[in-house]
């Protein structure tokens, strides 16, 4: 392979990664039918909890004072601390600028009022289309919680679905706080009690089945602390074993585990107050081994867990590894994690999800990640080319489609 040929192969791979539409498999975005739950615009970008945490490192307000401010003033505090008084170098800050720039707004004037005027020209519905076009996103998985007081009534009322937004059933309170959740299920007509017995598991399964059908859920999801253990006699593991697993088999629902979050290490920071801890990958392996007929999706928050988790995917075909979640979602760690995954399990994984909470963020999360995935993949195809294997354009397109959501779609299909 000549040097010229290798260079053009790399360019082709980067181009394909750049242009292939993505299925974003985990976000906190909503179909526009959910109204105010769909966040977008400059103020929401600035008060994203990633930036709020960083801004507290500079400004002098107490948590109480900051959160008592109206959203617009919170945004001004963050803007001043992270963009005006210091350069916006962190990944989350850079992300705001990538969004604004790609959406056609002038960032160099450093003029928040002018940015707000630009945004005022948009309506939410058309802005969804604009962001999906710019980010080249074909489908977005929401995070849908029946326990959310704002969200539940929208599902109960019913609405016309936007086919670009698919649902994922999120059940953290069910698994992490059964004593407080049991009365809620009872109030909604499910015959459960605080005691975890056969009748309760049956009621939980009926609850899961009803919601899976109501929202047309693609998979069932939970986030878990670093000390998650399986098998275990605590409520979390017992409900997984006796309700989530049979439910998953009955309704073809993969179980998505996001493991390693220590919630509220600084509760005053609210959403920005969660931290990370290394978890036991063995718990995931034991789940996969105990339930070979169930499908598992897994992402872990700690860098220390990434290698072992990827090795687990080599052992268990019912495990699909995905994403660089939250504190992992910085260029350096996306790069190392993606390269490691490609080398251990090829394209049978999903290197990234966006975790967007604000619609505009689709633009930066995908442009930043695509660049890294494109470079990593280009290097791998160049390694292949050096052996005399000549990857075709169609093969590259097939593989990239898999990496950007296609492999996940095959994995969760009945
Ligand atoms: O649990 C989750 O789905 C997390 O992604 C969120 O809780 C977290 O706040 C977040 O936005 C991370 O990116
Ligand atoms: Zn999330």
Contacts 24+ apart (CB under 8 A), 271-275: 271/49, 271/52, 272/49, 272/50, 272/52, 272/53, 272/56, 273/53
**Whole-model pTM above 0.85?**
yes
Share of the chain above pLDDT 90, in %: 98
How far is it, in rounded angstroms, from Cα 219 to Cα 26? 10
Substitution candidate for ligand 1 out of 145, 223, 224, 275 with most atoms within 8 A of CB: 223
pLDDT band at 6 (very low <50, low <70, confident <90, very high): low
pLDDT for residue 1 = 47
Alpha-carbon distance 312 to 320, whole Å? 10
Q: Ligand 1: residues within 6 Å at CB?
A: 28, 143, 223, 258, 271, 326, 355, 357
Ligand 2 midpoint to CA 235 (Å): 23
Whether 3 shows a pLDDT value over 80: the answer reads no
Other beta carbons within 10 Å of 393: 12
Rounded distance from Cα 218 to ligand 2 centre (Å): 15
Q: How far is the CA of 355 from the centre of ligand 1 (A)?
A: 7
Ligand 1 geometric centre to CA of 222 (Å)? 11
φ, ψ at 367 (rounded to 5°)? -70, -40
Task: Give pLDDT, residue 314.
Answer: 98
40 pLDDT above the threshold of 60: yes
The residue whose CA is least distant from atom 13 of ligand 1 is 326
CA of 389 to the centre of ligand 2 (A): 39
User: Average pLDDT, stretch 363-383?
Assistant: 98
Of all ligands present, the nearest one to the C-alpha of 258 is 1
Tens digits of residue pLDDT in 164-178: 999 999 999 999 999
pLDDT mean over 149-164: 98
Distance between CA atoms of residues 166 and 140, nearest Å: 6
Atom of ligand 1 nearest to the CA of 326: 13
Average pLDDT over residues 246-273: 98
For ligand 1, mutation pick of 355, 365, 369 (most atoms within 8 Å of CB) = 355
Other CB atoms within 10 Å distance of the CB of residue 199:
12
CA dihedral 395, 316, 173, 154 (to 10 degrees): 30
Atom of ligand 1 nearest to the CA of 26: 3
Sorted by where each starts, the structural domains of the chain and their CATH numbers stand as: 3-36+136-412 (3.20.20.140)
Mean pLDDT of all residues in 113-136: 96
Judged by average pLDDT, the poorest of 123-127, 256-260, 305-309, 373-377 is 123-127
Pocket residue to mutate for ligand 1, from 326, 364, 369, most atoms within 8 A of Cβ: 326
Where residue 291 falls (left for φ over 0; alpha for ψ -120 to 50; beta otherwise) is beta
- Does the pLDDT of residue 249 top 70, yes or no? yes
- Taking the CA of 172 as reference, the closest ligand is 1
CB 24 within 8 A of CB 140: yes
Report the distance separating Cα 22 and Cα 351, nearest Å. 11
Average pLDDT over residues 104-116: 96
Nearest to 33 by CA among 133, 132, 142: 142
What residue's CA is closest to ligand 1, atom 12? 326
């Amino acid at each position: 392979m000549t040097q010229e040929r290798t260079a053009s192969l790399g360019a082709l791979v980067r181009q394909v990664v750049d242009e292939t539409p993505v299925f974003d498999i985990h976000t906190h975005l909503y179909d526009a039918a959910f109204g105010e739950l769909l966040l977008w615009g400059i103020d929401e970008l600035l008060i994203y909890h990633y930036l709020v945490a960083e801004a507290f490192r500079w400004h002098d307000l107490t948590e109480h004072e900051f959160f008592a401010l109206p959203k617009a003033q919170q945004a001004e505090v963050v803007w001043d601390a992270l963009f005006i008084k210091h350069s916006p170098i962190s990944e989350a800050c850079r992300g705001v600028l990538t969004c604004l720039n790609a959406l056609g707004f002038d960032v160099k004037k450093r003029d928040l009022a002018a940015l707000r005027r630009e945004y005022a020209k948009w309506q939410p519905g058309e802005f969804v289309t604009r962001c999906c076009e710019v980010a080249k996103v074909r489908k977005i998985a929401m995070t849908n919680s029946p326990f959310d007081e704002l969200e539940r009534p929208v599902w109960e009322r019913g609405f016309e679905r936007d086919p670009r937004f698919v649902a994922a059933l999120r059940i953290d309170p069910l698994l992490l706080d059964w004593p407080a959740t049991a009365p809620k299920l009872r109030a909604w007509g499910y015959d459960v009690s605080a005691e975890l017995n056969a009748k309760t598991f049956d009621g939980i399964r009926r609850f899961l089945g009803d919601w899976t059908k109501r929202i047309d859920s693609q998979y069932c999801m939970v986030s878990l602390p670093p000390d998650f253990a399986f098998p275990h006699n605590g409520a979390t593991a017992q409900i997984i074993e006796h309700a989530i697993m049979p439910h998953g088999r009955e309704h073809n629902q993969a179980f998505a585990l996001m493991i390693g979050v220590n919630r509220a290490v600084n509760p005053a920071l609210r959403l920005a107050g969660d931290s990370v801890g290394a978890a036991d990958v063995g718990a995931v392996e034991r789940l996969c081994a105990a339930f070979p007929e169930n499908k598992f999706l897994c992402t872990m928050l700690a860098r220390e867990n990434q290698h072992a988790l990827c090795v687990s995917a080599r052992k268990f075909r019912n495990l699909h590894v995905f994403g660089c979640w939250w504190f992992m979602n910085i260029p350096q760690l996306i790069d190392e994690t993606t390269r490691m995954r490609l080398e251990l399990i090829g394209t049978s994984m999903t290197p990234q999800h966006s975790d967007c909470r604000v619609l505009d963020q689709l633009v930066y999360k995908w442009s930043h990640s695509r660049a890294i995935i494109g470079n990593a993949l280009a290097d791998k195809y160049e390694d292949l080319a050096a052996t005399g294997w000549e990857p075709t354009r169609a093969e590259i397109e097939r593989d990239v489609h898999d990496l950007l959501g296609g492999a996940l779609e095959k994995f969760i299909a009945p």
